[in-house]
Amino acid sequence: MSQEEMMLEVCLLSSSISILQQCSTPIYSEALSRLYRFACDSIFEIKVAGKFTADLVRAAIKVRPEIAVKKFIPGLCEKIIQRTTSEDLSQEEHLDNEFLWNLLLLSQAVRCDGSCLVPFKEVLTKVLQLTLHLKCKDAQEWSGTLLRYLLKSLSSIYALDFRCTVTDWDLPLTEYLPIREWGKSGDLFNLGMKWHVPSKEEKAFVEHLLNTFLLTELKRTRSHCDGNSVMTREELLQCIRIVSHCLVGTGACLPHWTRFESVSLIESLVELRRYGNTASCDDDEITLEGENVRVLVSSFMRPLLAHMLLSSEDDTKTLVEIIKVYKLVMYYHGSLKDEFEGRWKNRHSIKHFMENKLQKKKTHIRALLVDRTQLQHELRTVNQAPKVFTVLHRDLFLDLHHLAVSRYMEVRKVAQGALSTGFQMFAYSYRMILDDTIKYLKDDPSIEPHQFKGALYVILGENKRSLVSKRSWEVMNKLWPALVETKHCEKPSVLKVYDEIIDRVDRNIETTELSLTVSDSAVNAAKEIWTNGSLPKPSLPSATNGELETGRAVERERNADNISAYLELVNKLVSSAESGSLGWRFHQVSLEMLTLLIRYDIRFPSSAVRLFVTNMVNSSINVRKICTAGLSAILKLQKRKHKLVEIDPYAVSGAPRPLHSNDIHPGDDRPDNRWLHYRQDGFPKDEEQWNKTVFVEKTHWGYYCWPTKMMVYAPSSEQPPLGRSFEELLDDEKPIYEAFTSKEFVDQLIKFLSLEENKGKDHFHEKNFVLFKGLFRNFDDTVLPCLAPHIERLVADTSHETHETSQRCAAEIISGLIRGSKHWTYTKVVSLWKWLMPLMKIVITNFTVESIADWGTCLATASENRDPLKISPLLELLMDNPLNGDGGSFGDSSRMYLLQGLISQQEWRLPSVLHRLYNYILIHLRHPYKAVRDRLGSTIVSLFLYDINLPNGSPTLSPRRVMFIEHILPLLEPLKDSLVAEAGRNNEAGAVAPDPQRATEGAEVPMEHAPSTEDSSEAMTMKNKENSNNSNDIDSAENSEWKSNINLCKTVLKTLQGIYTRMFQAGMPEMLKLLPVICLLESETKDPELTRECLVTLGCMSQSQMTPELILPTLETIEEVSRLNSWHARVAVLGYLQVMVFNNLFLLQSEAIASRIRGTVVNLMCDEQLEVRELSGVTLGGLLHCGYLKIDDQLMNQFKQLSSTRIKKRSRDEMVPIELMIKRHAGVIGLSACILAFPYQVPDFMPQLLMLISAHLNDPPPIQATVKKTLTSFKRTHLDSWHDHKQKFTDDQLVVLTELLVSPNYYA
């Protein structure tokens, strides 16, 4: 069946059961009779329709088996027996649908209460005897299904009643009304569970079936092996399938074997056992000939498997069935874990869909609670099997392992799955087949490819459970070298599984302990369990002192063995990698495995360190990356222990210690943390002053509070020496020292590090930075002489082909050098900066578009977690006139970018530097280049990041936004005045000589003010002559000043965008003073960039979260802008207002605020400019639609009054007065906003509004256009549900609307 048909089958079955189990007896009987007539009188195809019908029969019988079984089973059995006895069907390969139909229905009819099937013991047995060995495959399938479900119904424990209530449905309605149970939750503590528990009669029936069919088939396999009665492959396959059906049907009542000796898989002083649980009600075992059924089946299957492997190894179908029998014998006890987990997840999804979230937890319908109880029982059956690995388990595992490396993929796959399941069930059972698996990995010509591939899949495992990631040094010591030294194979399928194994190693490996010691306190705590009288009491006696001493001895021995195994594993992998016999893939794998063995609790062997160092200059880039990462980790573990001393920050600062923690005010302006601020002259002058200076590297210390115990590094004079001679180094440090003091090695390494990997995509490599940081941290400046010439060469490289990679490599080394010099002595630090500063001057002149990002990362990384005094030379270098013009706009913006990255890492500790930079930037706010202005805006925001108001906090010493606003407002005032004046002149000019579009909108032009064309031409000619001499000079000066002011505005706009998007507290009242200027500039058509920046800034400002203190200043500023002469500003502020309200909706719920906002919008509806009126209508509609504003009588009456403004009729040549036109249009726009605010509804007031607005359809423009647009939008949004909406209109109103909304048809 298809996926859709399978889903339909599940839905049909569950729905049928749900309906039938809620029926009273009369209703059920009638439904059963109809179903019986349909099922027995009809015959359909059995693949889909047959299964659906069988599911209906199953549902009916499951609900009330005591009634339905008597109706179905006798008739179906009679038809089958009659057909098989009257005709010889045993050799028929294809049987008619009638026979298969009856057999299919019967196989589902037995899935009910087993006690109701006992009376039909003889007839069911006879049907099975007649049909199990038919040659027709469909008949075999359904007959085997019948046997399986019959045994399952008889031998399993399962719930019977899934109804929504335990009350009898047949009670009179006067006593019980069933409808009151609808949706009622079940009582968790009084479920009234009804269980099927196998009775003695049912168990006797099961034993009869097993003796009749299982034992017979097992004896047939013995005869087949002995050659007494040889079966064909089809007969043998059906024989094994019958055995499988019997085991599946009786798995819940077949006990596990206990008479076999257990196998010790791992040494332990205590017994390794798991506690089982009870999943049955009695101890009566079902046996065959007095033998455990599982043992008996195993004793027949193992010889059969051996016979088949010798005589018919290519019979894959039978081998697969034998593997399934093995799985059933060892693992199956009524339910498999995977099947149970699937049902568990399905039940959770059903519970989620059917839960009532208005009630408390566990208030589900009874059917769900019963199903949960059933699943709990299944969980017990899954875990009831004893997890003791016996000799029989070992033999079965070895058989499965032999099949897991079979020649045939179908057999291998199933056997590998069976082994994987066994590894999960029996702890450490994988050790039984580990050695046999590893032998197939050897490079031996006698090992065939299918064995090699099968061994790899056994190691891979299933569901992220792989042998290669086991937490055992013994296993890793055997398996990892074998994987590295395995034979090479180029088959894609083999390479794929090999890569998956290595990926499992990388992803799933867990740190395995080398030394595990149980402390004396843990032992004493365990002893108290026996002495403190707590419950439950231990079932075993407490350990004696002798046992404890033995345990400690074993513990020490195990730890020593682990260390020995670890070192042996490392040496094996190193030997394999150095042998030269490995292919490139296996050589890379060996290095990857070694990187996983780098540990913090043991020194890495020097041979492995040398291997990593040597392969740092390997020709393979992947190998170099692996070795770089590995060597970086080794250097971090080799880091010398530096002495820490405790300090009192209050004693250092000389400030009194506060009495209470609440007395500490967060911020950077406190007497106790000012000593952490950077001072321009604070860099130590000599070594004595250097050692006395307290360096605090953590930038977050001191801002909010101080650590309880503040530990800082002791002076460098008290630290262990870093610049050691070769003889003073440890064995694992010497290979690194030798390599990086070798000119040949360093030359080759730098050559590889400066190669291009991905053109156009290479960036600063953090792993390379970590490597060089570790080198300079561990070996001081002893490795610098070999690297210094390369650094100088790379920094100075300006060639077109190599400058990008060269400078990136130099940036990685320099950042590592600055960070690695953390614990250098004063003399070496001074020498470092003396050598490095000239190079940095070259850097800030030689960087390019491709390399600037790498240098920015370099300086930001170098400054991270460093005391600002230690990087003082670099900081002062970048602060020295960064906008000097060298390199043009790119040079200026890049130097500012480097400086911004450097100071950002220092956070709050540079207030003096921030003020110096702030004052420097103020001079260059009018910079002519866009790239520089954008960078200045971003940098200014970085200066303001610490201008935040914390609870109980102190004001910052860093630059503040108020200072910036107060500085630029006077500078922007002339620009604002000129814009307002220009807008006023435009308005006056528009009043005297309106454009044609405005005239068509109804503007009246007084005829006495209209100059003639002739007079106008003469005046213009004279004016041009008068101004022809000095116009160029004036225009040039004005343009220069205008451009300067516009550049200032662009810088300010970029700053505002950063403030509103990057800062924690963006809004403040002073910043609102810039809103009028932004609204005025938003319509500047001469500069598209300025227009775009204004729009972005308005968007950022409107979307910011407001505080209650900002509400009134914001509203006042909006009202101020709405009164400006520029209609473009009024349009801009309407967009700002709408977005601002939507983003702060819950903060603006005050009725006074809402009334004020409504007044502003309504006033703008009466604006003289058409665009302002239209946008105010859109804004009002949005505020009404979101529910912020309400439509009340006052608002409606105001719009009705405006829309009813009378326009006096004049002659056709005269124009309508503009004042009256504006009022009438404002009223229509208001009514339109009320209509469009409900696009998918028809409130009670809407029909009247539509009638009012339709009366203006013939008004002059632009009223007419507004009405048409409103009616068109109403028709579009209400069309889908018009059959419901039209009920709100009267007949007369519908007639009017039809005439307005329906276009007339014209016929010739």
pLDDT of 56 over the 70 cut: yes
Average pLDDT of the residues in 1156-1185: 91
C-alpha closest to that of 900 among 864, 853, 860: 860
Work out the number of other CB atoms within 10 angstroms of the CB of residue 706: 17
pLDDT at 1136: 92
Write out pLDDT tens, residues 1063-1099. 888 778 888 899 999 998 888 777 889 889 999 999 9
Three-state secondary-structure class, residue 712: strand
Measured between alpha carbons, how far is 600 from 514 in angstroms, rounded to an integer? 11
User: Could you please report the per-residue DSSP string of 429-490?
Assistant: TTHHHHHHHHHTTS--TTS-HHHHHHHHHHHH-BTTB-GGG-S-HHHHHHHHHHHHSSPP--
Measured between alpha carbons, how far is 1057 from 1100 in angstroms, rounded to an integer? 6
For residue 480, name the pLDDT band (cuts at 50, 70, 90).
very high
Average pLDDT of the residues in 11-35: 90
Measured between alpha carbons, how far is 89 from 136 in angstroms, rounded to an integer? 9
Measured between alpha carbons, how far is 445 from 283 in angstroms, rounded to an integer? 54
pLDDT at 1210: 53
Average pLDDT of the residues in 823-845: 93
Measured between alpha carbons, how far is 335 from 376 in angstroms, rounded to an integer? 12
Measured between alpha carbons, how far is 760 from 73 in angstroms, rounded to an integer? 77
pLDDT at 996: 30
Structure tokens at 434: 């580990």
pLDDT at 948: 87
User: Could you please report the per-residue DSSP string of 1246-1289?
Assistant: HHHHHHHHHTTTTSSTTHHHHHHHHHHHHHHHHSTTHHHHGGGS
**SS3 track for 116-139:** HCHHHHHHHHHHHHHHCCCCCHHH
pLDDT of 1006 over the 50 cut: no
C-alpha closest to that of 1231 among 1198, 1264, 1272: 1198
Whether 732 contacts 605, CB under 8 Å: yes
For residue 1034, name the pLDDT band (cuts at 50, 70, 90).
very low
Instruction: Give the strand pairing for 291-292 and 644-646.
Output: unpaired
Whether 1106 contacts 1147, CB under 8 Å: yes
pLDDT at 847: 87
Average of per-residue pLDDT values in the chain: 87
Measured between alpha carbons, how far is 524 from 522 in angstroms, rounded to an integer? 5
Beta strands in 97-160 (DSSP E): 158-159
Measured between alpha carbons, how far is 1018 from 356 in angstroms, rounded to an integer? 87
Measured between alpha carbons, how far is 664 from 954 in angstroms, rounded to an integer? 9
Write out pLDDT tens, residues 113-129. 999 999 999 999 999 99
pLDDT of 1305 over the 60 cut: no
For residue 987, name the pLDDT band (cuts at 50, 70, 90).
low
Structure tokens at 396: 């079965």
Average pLDDT of the residues in 1116-1125: 90
**684 preceded by cis ω (within 30°)?**
no
Average pLDDT of the residues in 214-225: 92
Q: Report which DSSP code applies to 214.
A: I
pTM over 0.85: no
Average pLDDT of the residues in 23-50: 89
pLDDT at 1208: 63
pLDDT at 454: 92
Whether 1002 contacts 1216, CB under 8 Å: yes
Measured between alpha carbons, how far is 97 from 111 in angstroms, rounded to an integer? 22
Beta strands in 371-438 (DSSP E): none
**DSSP H or E segment with residue 740:** helix 734-740
Measured between alpha carbons, how far is 1118 from 1123 in angstroms, rounded to an integer? 9
Beta-bridge partners for 288: 291
Write out pLDDT tens, residues 415-451. 999 999 999 888 889 999 999 999 998 888 888 889 9
Beta-bridge partners for 712: 645
pLDDT at 402: 94
pLDDT of 939 over the 90 cut: yes
C-alpha closest to that of 417 among 402, 429, 404: 404
Average pLDDT of the residues in 498-502: 90
Measured between alpha carbons, how far is 63 from 164 in angstroms, rounded to an integer? 13
Question: By 3-state DSSP, what share of the chain in percent is helix, strand and coil, each rounded to 5?
Answer: 65, 0, 35
Structure tokens at 1274: 């109403």
Measured between alpha carbons, how far is 467 from 441 in angstroms, rounded to an integer? 14
Measured between alpha carbons, how far is 964 from 921 in angstroms, rounded to an integer? 11
Structure tokens at 289: 């000939």
Average pLDDT of the residues in 19-41: 90
pLDDT at 1211: 54
pLDDT at 1142: 92
Q: Terminal CA-to-CA distance of the chain, rounded, Å?
A: 60
User: Could you please report the per-residue DSSP string of 552-600?
Assistant: HHHHHHHHHHHHHHHHHHHHHHHHHHHSS-S-HHHHHHHHHHHHHT--S
784-798, 820-834, 1203-1217: the lowest-pLDDT one: 1203-1217
Three-state secondary-structure class, residue 1010: coil
For residue 1024, name the pLDDT band (cuts at 50, 70, 90).
very low
Write out pLDDT tens, residues 1129-1141. 999 999 999 999 9
For residue 994, name the pLDDT band (cuts at 50, 70, 90).
very low
C-alpha closest to that of 1058 among 1092, 1094, 1098, 1100: 1100
Measured between alpha carbons, how far is 683 from 840 in angstroms, rounded to an integer? 19
Measured between alpha carbons, how far is 77 from 41 in angstroms, rounded to an integer? 15
Distance (Å) of CA 430 to CA 266, 416, 435, 802, 1114: 11, 12, 10, 55, 73
Question: Residue 1062 contacts by C-beta under 8 Å, 6 or more apart in sequence?
Answer: 941, 945
pLDDT of 1209 over the 60 cut: no
Average pLDDT of the residues in 279-287: 73
**74 preceded by cis ω (within 30°)?**
no
**DSSP H or E segment with residue 196:** strand 195-196
136-145, 727-736, 915-924, 1284-1293: the lowest-pLDDT one: 1284-1293
C-alpha closest to that of 703 among 731, 745, 672: 672
User: Could you please report the per-residue DSSP string of 1219-1238?
Assistant: HHHHHHHHHHHHHHHHHHT-
For residue 455, name the pLDDT band (cuts at 50, 70, 90).
very high
Distance (Å) of CA 306 to CA 228, 437, 1076: 17, 20, 94
pLDDT at 91: 83
pLDDT at 1037: 56
pLDDT of 622 over the 90 cut: yes
pLDDT of 737 over the 90 cut: yes
Percent of the chain with pLDDT over 70: 94
pLDDT at 858: 94
Measured between alpha carbons, how far is 217 from 211 in angstroms, rounded to an integer? 10
Measured between alpha carbons, how far is 1182 from 1167 in angstroms, rounded to an integer? 19
Length of the chain counted residue by residue: 1308
pLDDT at 1212: 58
Average pLDDT of the residues in 877-899: 92
Whether 588 contacts 608, CB under 8 Å: no
Three-state secondary-structure class, residue 159: strand
For residue 1300, name the pLDDT band (cuts at 50, 70, 90).
confident
691 CB burial (10 A radius; 0-12, 13-18, 19+): middle
Measured between alpha carbons, how far is 1285 from 1243 in angstroms, rounded to an integer? 9
The three-point CA angle 234-238-243 to 5° equals 150
Amino acid at 913: V
150-159, 266-275, 818-827, 1298-1307: the lowest-pLDDT one: 1298-1307
